[in-house]
Amino acid sequence: MKIVASSRVTFLILLGFCLAFGSSSQAHPDLKPFKSWLNHGGGLGLKNQRVAMLENHISAKSVSKLSLNWEFATESDVTATPAISDGVVYFPDWNGFMYAVEQETGNLIWKKNLLDLTSGFITFVPTNITKFYPKTMVSRSTPTIVGDMLVFGVYGPCAVVALCKASGALLWTKELDSHPYALISMSGTAFEGAYYIGTSSLEEGIDGIDCCIFQGAFYKLDVKTGDIIYKVPMLPDNAGQTGRYAGVAIWGSSPSIDVHRRRVFIATGNAYSTPPDIDACLENERNSSSPPFPDVCLPPDDHQESILAIDMASGNVTWSRQLGGYDTFSYVCAAVNPPDNCQAVNGPDYDFGMCPMLMKIATKSAREPAEKPWKEIAVAGQKSGFIWALDQDNGEVVWVTAAGPGGYIGGSSWGLTTDGQRVFTNMINNLKANFTLLPSSTVVQSGGWVAINATNGDILWSTADPFASTTNAPLTYANGVVFGGSVEPGNVVALDAKTGKVLWTYATPGSIYGGVSIADGCVFVPVGNSLIGVNNAPNNVKGKSVLSLCI
């Protein structure tokens, strides 16, 4: 761990100055009581619900009154949900900058170049990201606000960075994985002095290399220093050798935390490669008329495409539920002429592109006495188009719903939201497959959005994107309204949470890929997506701004 100071004493002085500066600014008597959006998950962000809990200006009746308050020009696309705290909005762009702007006016407070800021403090390997993107160090993650600090992951190299919230000064950095294509694409969650984050990689999309060795892992860091408290591997150790277990990234939304059970919840992606004996076992299963369930080929410490509950204190896996079958996939092996070392069958790439959302559901009516008339569930969407609800206690499946068509982008990805009774998901449909808008029989070939009864998994409504595009952005809920995003040419879409009716749309100057954040009657919109992803959809529209739309 590298601290930006000649000694730990100097670092503590720097941190103390940051805390003093931030605290004094927050105590100013003229400062308005702004609402907060502290990480990707919104508000406190612990349940990963993406809900503007205290919003009372925006409603189904008033949403059509939203209009442009300001547009802040960035250097490149913004695909992270903006964070909000004490009247300031924070976000990164794909040109390698982190910004702080005034919530009310959009005026710039500070702007920091991440490569310059961390020069000499992070071991940088140029191949990390430049094979795909023109810039060498960027973040696509919503910064997590922890007191007077911003903490966020870097999209290559695989590192976490902490800045002073008031000034943007660098406090500490921590490199988590030295693999040349390792990175962080998810946002972190902070709780009780710790920062929780998972690692990902671009290795599955790299041709011309002997793939693969990257292994996903989950980390708990000391939020004040960046020191690693524990690391939870997602696979059996491969000792850096190819032909063994690789992949299983943790890459979407932000970890959710159950403060009563003292557990943190995550979900994972596909395997990139598997050992020959596992491939042989899988081949036998494919040739069987009745494949075993659960999958006997899956060792207990292989957590690919799983939802996990992890003990917060120890890092021990309390339970892990693998969902959807074994899935070994790489983009290189999906090519017309794949390399010789590919597995026999390339899987469907049905990752979990989000961590679970935690919520409570009723289990009994008032006339049926029960020890506990409610159940706490962990809900996550998969790129397969399936939405899974698991019991937080033991990981048992409470319900599963096929909400729409799957795809290598999705399906459901990046984040759900809820009003407490319904689960809302995007349905990206990047393959333009037939998408039946249940419970109706209408069929479309675009993306859309789906509402599901949180108690039993029944589909309540499905709404197609009115612009017939894909709908990659995570959803956000506020006071009866669900906000989503359309990729081409770029629109924010507001839906009635009860009916799915489109209440309002707003044309944006680029694709909407990151979800919106909401505070004080305003919607903060990240604009643009011309860079992200391997084998990216060709119709994404570049943008260079963040919008504030207010009542």
Inside any domain, residue 290: no
pLDDT < 70 stretches in the chain: 1-17, 19-34, 123-135, 208, 289-294, 364-371, 531-539
What CATH number is attached to the domain comprising 340?
2.140.10.10
- The reported pLDDT for the residue numbered 463 is 99
Measured CA to CA, the distance from residue 363 to residue 183 in angstroms comes to 41
Residue with tokens 């983009």: 331
- The reported pLDDT for the residue numbered 354 is 98
Tell me the residue range of the domain where 368 lies.
2-24+35-285+297-550
Total structural domains within the chain: 1
Inside any domain, residue 391: yes
Query: How far does CA 167 lie from the centroid of its chain?
Result: 26
Global pTM reads: 0.93
Measured CA to CA, the distance from residue 465 to residue 486 in angstroms comes to 7
Cβ partners under 8 Å of residue 221, min gap 6: 160, 174, 194, 195, 196, 197, 227, 228, 229
- The reported pLDDT for the residue numbered 282 is 84
Inside any domain, residue 342: yes
pLDDT tens readout for residues 12-27 = 665 666 755 544 333 3
Backbone angles phi, psi at 15, to 5 degrees: -65, -40
Q: Give yes or no for a contact between 109 and 143, defined as CB atoms under 8 angstroms apart.
A: no
Query: How far does CA 366 lie from the centroid of its chain?
Result: 37
Sheet with 522-527: list strands edge to edge. Answer: 67-73, 545-550, 522-527, 517-519
Q: What are 425's two structure tokens?
A: 């998901």
Inside any domain, residue 292: no
Inside any domain, residue 56: yes
Measured CA to CA, the distance from residue 82 to residue 298 in angstroms comes to 39
Inside any domain, residue 291: no
- The reported pLDDT for the residue numbered 149 is 98
Inside any domain, residue 245: yes
- Of 492, 349, 357, 375, the C-alpha closest to 425 is 357
- The reported pLDDT for the residue numbered 477 is 98
Q: Give yes or no for a contact between 220 and 230, defined as CB atoms under 8 angstroms apart.
A: yes
